[in-house]
Amino acid sequence: MQAAAWQQLASTYLVCAEDRGTPVDLQREFAGRAGSVVELDAGHHPFLSQPAAVRDLVLSL
Amino acid sequence: MRVVFVHGACVRDGSWWWHRTAELLAERDVASEAPALPSCGETGKTPDAQGPGLVEDVAAVREVLTAGEELTVVVAHSYGGIVTAEAAAGIGAVRHLLLVSSYLPEVGQSLSSFGGEEPAPFLDIDPEGGTFTVRPDALIEPFLQDCDPGIQRQASNKTVRQSLAILE
């Protein structure tokens, strides 16, 4: 890592609370570095399982 | 506004992974793009221990992000967050980063900083060949358990062996 864009740019972290691959505690730790945090009851791929929620989030940014 | 989606580890075809949301965004006149990642073998060279690695992935995403002036939201998924953390730095057109179940390194950290003492049980690691992937029988339950069966089936055909050079 040479640069960390999330330190310079507006950022939102989407925590996937039902993710069984990436532990939710680890996600929440990373999320603390982002500008804002949204949590969704979804697995690792919310853009496939809950696309309307992800669309709404993208459009709200 | 446009969306650039950066996919996660051990898969190809970011446009497919993003397609359900991309279709809904297109109805609102928001276009999406998904750069091909060299470390996943998407740009012609078969990955091995020498790469392509994180440097090449960063360059590929950066090329897409600098291609126009249009305001851009970058959606970075999982490993894609590591690529994006570096690729989006200093690019004025990027308005927002959306990190989805993503790794978020500090400067100086690499993906290997986040590993436990044992490799994750769902990974198939080939140290000699210099690649790793998700075990086919361990894809659905950890990663796609809440997706419909059609998506789960298609996803199984979208995994690849990725270069271990991304860990450096």
Chain A contact present for B149, CB below 8 A: no
- Between chains, do A19 and B101 touch, taking CB under 8 Å as contact? yes
Q: What is the pLDDT of residues B129-162, one digit of tens each?
A: 999 999 989 999 999 999 999 999 999 999 999 9
**CA dist list (Å): B158 to B9, B78, B139:** 11, 16, 11
Q: Is the pTM of this model over 0.90?
A: yes
Q: Is residue B9 part of a domain?
A: yes
Q: Is residue A37 part of a domain?
A: yes
Mark residue A39 as left, alpha or beta (left: phi above 0; alpha: psi -120 to 50; beta: remaining): beta
Q: Kindly list the residues from chain B whose CB atom is less than 8 angstroms away from the CB atom of residue A40.
A: none
Helix B149-156 to helix B14-26 angle (10° resolution) is 140
Closest CA to B16 of A19, A48, A53: A48
Q: Interface pTM (ipTM) of the complex?
A: 0.95
Owning domain of residue A33: 11-60
Q: Which two tokens stand for residue B143?
A: 């990663």
DSSP designation for B135: -
pLDDT of residue B37: 98
**CA dist list (Å): A14 to A3, A31, A47, B61, B77:** 21, 8, 11, 21, 10
Would you say B79 and B58 are in contact if contact means Cβ atoms under 8 Å apart?
Answer: no
- Between chains, do B109 and A58 touch, taking CB under 8 Å as contact? no
Q: Is residue B94 part of a domain?
A: yes
Split into its structural domains, chain B has a count of 1
**CA dist list (Å): B162 to B38, B79, B116, B134, B146:** 9, 11, 19, 10, 25
Q: How far apart are CA A49 and CA B18, in angstroms?
A: 11
Owning domain of residue B149: 2-104+116-167
Identify each DSSP E strand in A1-61 by its residue range: 11-16, 36-40
Q: Is residue A3 part of a domain?
A: no
CATH number for the domain spanning B140: value is 3.40.50.1820
pLDDT of residue B109: 64
Split into its structural domains, chain A has a count of 1
Q: Kindly list the residues from chain A whose CB atom is less than 8 angstroms away from the CB atom of residue B120.
A: 21
Chain B nearest-CA distance from A10, in A, is 5
Q: Is residue B110 part of a domain?
A: no
Would you say A59 and B30 are in contact if contact means Cβ atoms under 8 Å apart?
Answer: yes
Q: Is residue A2 part of a domain?
A: no
How would residue A3 be classed by pLDDT, with cut points 50, 70 and 90?
low
Q: Is residue A6 part of a domain?
A: no
